[in-house]
Amino acid sequence: MTALRYQYRIYPTAPQRQMLARTFGCVRTVYNDALKIFQDAWRAGSVRPSMGAVAKAVTTDAKRTAERAWLGEVSAVPLQQALRDLATAYTNFFASVSGRRPGPRVGPPRFKKRTERQSARFNRNAFALKASGRLYVAKVGDLRVAWSRALPSVPSSVTVIKTATGKYYASFVVAVDDGAELAEPITDPEAETGIDLGLKAFAVLRGGKVIENPRFFRRLERKLRKAQRALSRKQQGSSNRAKARVRVAKIHEKVRHTRADWVDKQIHRIVRENQAVYVEDLCVTGLSRGRVAKSVHDAALGMFLGRLESKAHRAGRTFVRVDRLFPSTRLCSACGALTGPKGLEGLSVRQRVCGCGAVHDRDRNAEINIRREGRRLVAEGLPDT
């Protein structure tokens, strides 16, 4: 079974928006109160208190006090979920410090701030899907949902999200059978491609097929700059500043949604047309720290690779990451000679002539080499990564 998220737009009424705002605030308060107890115990050198004792202190006992009595106005379920999130954050932190958790180092939990994006999670005890198509949420009521597609199974939880632009979404977690999304196998042995990612051209596929870089952020950068300039001139706390902030948030939202939709469409086409996909394992984090950081973030290479891998596995396609140190650009795909330019000097060389007489386009040559290396890894029986 695989857990997937399905997100839909919801339209709460004015009273429901007020109750959701209270819920978001209570979730943040309970999380911060619990975190403060753990931090105080650590500073005092005391034994770390149990999560059960902390949960009782920040919810059950706190509701009986005058300063936290308003915690009883909202559902207790999202408050419990916030404490589970805190426990998970501590678990990940300690596992990272001890080396048991792979990947980059994870820091300790931090206090939640009141931001424009807020959320609260409800489990099955606190929500229900009505036959009328409405979503019932405890203490909030029946929410109108814009169903764009049916849920594949009964959801285990739902997260109600408010974005910076004032829109509300319901994000369901559902369990899907591993074979539910398997695509029809492609018997053609040539139905496979390497993918050479870049910034000038977003990707080069087999046969020299080029996916142009749409540069969604660059297109709206001038409009965003004007909106941010107008926001900086507005008086703090004024209604005009609030409106200007929403205008800035809407530009960011448009860039994000347009980019995500475009990436999903490219991935769908690649997975549909190829039985095997071979990509270079880029160090996106390192690339995003250099001179081309803005372009790397705009291209969303990390999001593309992550979603492509997930989609390929669910569709039953072969997906292989070629080691990032493999010299796909420098290697001649005709004779195998390692004669290409090194380092930064090779970035400006779009075409080169090998000593064997072969004329190479840099990206097409890299795609061929990535595909061949991916085939070799599969032939050696290495697992998909």
DSSP collapsed to 3 states, 316-359? CCEEEEECCCCCCCCECCCCCCECCCCHHHHCCCCEEECCCCCE
Please, where are the H alpha helices in the chain? 14-44, 51-55, 76-98, 216-233, 239-273, 284-287, 293-299, 301-315, 362-379
Task: Examine the residue annotation and report whether 61 is marked as an active-site residue of this protein.
Answer: no
Q: Tell me the backbone φ, ψ of residue 34, rounded to 5 degrees.
A: -65, -40
Q: Is the alpha carbon torsion for 294, 298, 303, 305 positive or negative?
A: negative
pLDDT given for residue 180 in this prediction: 77
What burial class does residue 14 get, using C-beta atoms within 10 Å of its C-beta: 0-12 exposed, 13-18 middle, 19+ buried?
A: exposed
Q: pLDDT for 344-356, tens place per residue?
A: 555 667 787 887 8
Catalytic residue among 309, 363, 367, 373: 363
Identify the weakest region by mean pLDDT among 88-97, 206-215, 330-339. Answer: 330-339
Under the banding of pLDDT at 50, 70 and 90, the label for residue 79 is: very high
Mean pLDDT confidence for 293-317:
93
CA distance 155 to 7: 11
Region 107-124: what's the mean pLDDT?
A: 94
Q: What percent of the chain has pLDDT over 90?
A: 75
Nearest to 128 by CA among 149, 115, 107, 142: 142
Whole-structure pTM value: 0.88
Marked catalytic residue, from 33, 280, 298, 367: 280
Looking at the DSSP bridge assignments, the partners of residue 172 are 6, 158
Residue 207 has pLDDT above 80, yes or no: yes
Question: Per mean pLDDT, which range of 295-299, 301-305, 316-320, 346-350 is the poorest?
Answer: 346-350
Res 14 pLDDT > 90: yes
CA distance 122 to 161: 11
Give the mean pLDDT of 325-336.
85
The answer to whether the CB of 121 falls within 8 A of the CB of 83 is no
Over residues 129-152, mean pLDDT: 96
**Nearest Cα to Cα of residue 308 among 195, 213, 216:** 195
Helix extents (H) in 45-174: 51-55, 76-98
* Contact call for residues 140 and 23 (beta carbons, < 8 A): yes
Catalytic residue at 363? Answer: yes
Range with the lowest mean pLDDT among 66-80, 195-209, 355-369? 355-369
Query: What is the model's pLDDT at position 290?
Result: 79
Residue 264 CA, distance from chain mean position? 13
Distance CA 194, CA 181 (A): 23
| 100's tokens | 């048991």
Side-chain-side CA neighbours of 25 within 13 Å: the count stands at: 12
* pLDDT reported for residue 228: 97
Task: Say what the pLDDT of residue 328 is.
Answer: 87
Cross-strand partners of 276:
192, 318
- pLDDT tens, position by position, 227-282: 999 999 999 999 999 999 999 999 999 999 999 999 999 999 999 999 999 999 88
Please confirm, yes or no, whether 40 is among the known catalytic residues.
Answer: no
Q: Ramachandran region of residue 80, left (φ > 0), alpha (ψ -120 to 50) or beta? A: alpha
150: pLDDT strictly greater than 50:
yes
Q: How far is CA 148 from CA 3, 7, 139, 376, in A?
A: 19, 9, 26, 42
pLDDT recorded at residue 385: 46
Q: Provide the 10 A C-beta neighbour count for residue 149.
A: 7
Q: What's the average model confidence in pLDDT over 95-103?
A: 91
More confident residue, 342 or 319: 319
* pLDDT (0 to 100) of residue 343: 59
* Residue 158 near residue 240 (C-beta atoms within 8 A): no
Residue 125: pLDDT band with limits 50, 70, 90: very high
Q: How far apart are CA 136 and CA 347, in angstroms?
A: 56
For 167-189, the pLDDT digits (tens) are 999 999 999 887 778 888 888 88
Averaged pLDDT of the chain: 92
- From the candidates 192, 196, 309, 373, which is the catalytic residue? 196
Residue-wise pLDDT for 347-383, tens only, equals: 667 787 887 878 888 889 999 999 999 999 998 876 5
Tell me what the mean pLDDT of segment 75-101 comes to.
Answer: 95
Greater confidence, 13 or 328? 13
